[in-house]
Structure 1
Amino acid sequence: MTPRKRVLSAMNHEEPDRVPIILGISNATGIKMKTYQKLKKLLGVQGEDRYLYDWPELGTAVPDEAILQRLGTDVRPVLDRHPAANMQANASREPGTPFIDSWGIGQVELAPGEWFPHINPLVEAETIADLEAFDWPDMDDFSRVAHVKAEAAALAAQNEYAIMATPWLLFPLERAFQMLRMDNFMMSMVEKPDFAKALLAKITDLCKQLMGHFLRELGDNVDIVKIGDDLGTQTSLLISPKMYREFLKPFHADYIAFIKERTKAKVLFHTDGDVFPLVDDFVEIGVDILNPIQTSAGRMSELDELKRQFGDKIVFCGGIDTHRVLPYGSPDDVRQEVKRVIEALGPGGGYMLASVHTIMNDVPPENVLAMVDAVEEHGRYPLK
């Protein structure tokens, strides 16, 4: 099979020739720069170090095509960009000073080369009037998507790889955390629910506005659209199922419906942590692919049960542990983990292998190769 046919088959809950691999193509399925540099050295690949979204402060690499092919990645990305004026302003700032994005959120350097969103532009906001007075970003700025049509058309003309569209962090809850600060927003859901819902509604409207431009430029040249919101912790949900269904589910449902009205592409929803109690909700609102299946978090470790309850309703993407196995295990440990996850999630199709979120800087490059090579050994259909 071609990589694209392999992905389409798995997404249709059919068995392809092997389990598809999604690695190195978004900030949820990527590789941090230090590990990427070690991987290049190990493989003897020469090339410029480039950052996802042209954003060094994010720290995620754009792998060379030679690396993507060595990793067996079956998908290629199309991304949006920060507005041109915003990128120019940040390019001219003093070294080490915060990177301020178009929302006013600031990435602060905590240690050399390590950045964290620590400037929250709505931290003092308390009322809906404060939200209305805020200078919200311009989602009609065409420089965000000016490259999309040509990039997607070129990939489609090759007809080799599946195409995944990955607009940057167009997620209502995570953006609300970064705008207001996480503790403030969590408290507002209890003390000022109308304010919290107004903020989520405004962010969702802006997400849809940019997504509309993005999808228009893509046209039919897209197979997967990635969205999401991190809703889980290592042991439970971030908020209760009741609060999810009251505050966030309506916005997620509206957002997904907006996307599906404009494209036939499958919707991949990224959410870290133990989100087992919400999988039925995700199915109900139209999520096609669930990522990253954080196997180290609570009931998400129950892979057999996930497959039994939801395997015919949703596609699983991820599952290879970045908490312990990839950073601290041996290559053989990694191979055994790949075998275990494929045996649980792979039968009948409906599974695409990826690391649980981005491969961080503490992962040895040998373990990255062990992960993808194990797919050739253990992920060929019919599974042993």
Structure 2
Amino acid sequence: MTSRELVYKTLNFENPERVPRQKWVLPWAQHHYPVELNQIGEDYPDDIIGAPGYNKVNDRSEGDPTEVGESTDAWGCKFLNYQKGIIGEVKEPLVKDDAWKDVNNVHIPREWLTIDIDKINAFCKNTDKFVMAGACPRPFEQLQFIRGTENLFIDLMLRPQGLLDFMKKMHAFNCEQLTLWASTDVDALSFMDDWGSQNSLLINPKVWVEFFKPMYKDYIDIAHDHGKKIFMHSDGYILDIYPHLIELGLDAINSQLFCMPMEELAKYKGKITFWGEIDRQQLLPYGSLEDIKHAVQQVKNNLWARGGCIAQCEFGPGAKPANVEKVFETWNLCL
């Protein structure tokens, strides 16, 4: 069975012969553990990969966001980073005016629409891996980068017309980008937004339903209308929005499972695929090998339903290589 077939059987709850794998690697791990990282990759190769866009026009991003210093994203937001191997923060918003009169400071990166479809299709044809699109809209996070987190939270309450107009414009661009990628031979689209703090949603769930659920519905509908699967990532405690995402038909969610009660997550077993992960706050940096084994078994016992789980974890700051390896070793023996 190929990796592509394995992932589809998992997403469709068709009892795959093993749990598919995906390792997320931050530059920190590449800097600190290149030998161990390479060995894990050889022993437990990924079943899910991303497609290059082969863009014909470069976007306006500048600098390396994982290096110490300043970098600029494709929208024009400037990030300041103090630690090599991770991504920094935006310290100065592009939109400073409360009425959004300076919104023209924002550049919508239409360069992302210059993908080479023929090359992408050839990439998909020449691999037996499950291929994700090289686009990942993040409306809530991008709005924070543009406006600043505190200012955006105020705007979501006061609803200035400038914010509402820009959100429509940004969403139209995101839909155009996803529709373009959905016309290629990739297997899945994706989107992301970090919605959770350690123990609650960052905004009132009613505000999420009003503003962001309709956006996500459009993303999911675009994927399914084109015969694609669709995945989402969100950090933190996001239990409040799980039922909504399932209602919308999301195929797979990557979330911090160990920020939420496992017995509550178990209610959604068989309704959505849990695209990882294993606790990277405590277990991956500080846990024993036995702790890691127990954590994987806990996820499998609570959330596996003839599919519905992907062996994903993040190799990032503080994680022990042996613990990351143990995650994949344990998943490999689960079925």
TM over 0.5: yes
Q: Name the SS of the counterpart of 2:79 in structure 1.
A: strand
Query: Where does the alignment leave 5 or more consecutive residues of structure 1 unmatched?
Result: 24-29, 46-65
Are the counterparts in 1 of residues 95 and 102 from structure 2 also a CA contact under 8 Å? Answer: no
> Structure 1 residue 375 and structure 2 residue 331: aligned?
yes
Matches of 1:305 and 1:32, distance apart in 2: 30
Q: How is 1:143-154 mapped onto 2 (pairs within 5 angstroms)?
A: 145-146=115-116, 149-154=118-123
Matched residue type, 1:373: E
Q: Name the SS of the counterpart of 2:125 in structure 1.
A: helix
Instruction: Mark the CA change 1:311 to 1:141 in structure 2 (over 3 Å): closer, same or farther.
Output: closer
Matches of 2:36 and 2:241, distance apart in 1: 41
Q: CA deviation digits over 1:334-363, x for unaligned, max 9? A: 1221122111112321111212xx321211
Q: Name the SS of the counterpart of 1:316 in structure 2.
A: strand
User: Normalising to structure 2: TM-score of the pair?
Assistant: 0.88
**Which position in structure 2 is the counterpart of 1:320?**
278
Q: CA deviation at 1:178?
A: 0.5
> Structure 1 residue 344 and structure 2 residue 311: aligned?
no
> Structure 1 residue 71 and structure 2 residue 29: aligned?
no
Instruction: Mark the CA change 1:315 to 1:238 in structure 2 (over 3 Å): closer, same or farther.
Output: same
Query: Where does the alignment leave 5 or more consecutive residues of structure 2 unmatched?
Result: none
Q: How is 1:239-258 mapped onto 2 (pairs within 5 angstroms)?
A: 239-258=203-222
Q: Name the SS of the counterpart of 1:296 in structure 2.
A: helix
**Which position in structure 2 is the counterpart of 1:106?**
78
Q: CA deviation at 1:311?
A: 2.2
Instruction: Mark the CA change 1:282 to 1:340 in structure 2 (over 3 Å): closer, same or farther.
Output: same
> Structure 1 residue 124 and structure 2 residue 124: aligned?
no
State the Cα RMSD in Å: 2.6
Q: Name the SS of the counterpart of 2:189 in structure 1.
A: strand
Q: Name the SS of the counterpart of 1:245 in structure 2.
A: helix
Q: CA deviation at 1:126?
A: 2.0
Are the counterparts in 2 of residues 223 and 265 from structure 1 also a CA contact under 8 Å? Answer: yes
User: Normalising to structure 1: TM-score of the pair?
Assistant: 0.78
Are the counterparts in 2 of residues 296 and 323 from structure 1 also a CA contact under 8 Å? Answer: no
> Which stretch of the first structure deviates more once superposed, 226-235 or 33-42?
33-42
Instruction: Mark the CA change 1:236 to 1:104 in structure 2 (over 3 Å): closer, same or farther.
Output: same
Q: How is 1:208-357 mapped onto 2 (pairs within 5 angstroms)?
A: 208-216=175-183, 219=184, 221-261=185-225, 263-292=226-255, 294-297=256-259, 300-302=260-262, 304-307=263-266, 309-355=267-313
Instruction: Mark the CA change 1:81 to 1:150 in structure 2 (over 3 Å): closer, same or farther.
Output: closer
Q: How many residues align?
A: 332
Matched residue type, 2:252: I
Are the counterparts in 1 of residues 121 and 186 from structure 2 also a CA contact under 8 Å? Answer: yes
Q: CA deviation digits over 1:278-313, x for unaligned, max 9? A: 111112223111112x1232xx232x4323x32232
> Which stretch of the first structure deviates more once superposed, 346-355 or 235-244?
346-355
**Which position in structure 2 is the counterpart of 1:27?**
none
Q: CA deviation at 1:243?
A: 1.0
**Which position in structure 2 is the counterpart of 1:167?**
135
**Which position in structure 1 is the counterpart of 2:58?**
84
Matched residue type, 1:301: P
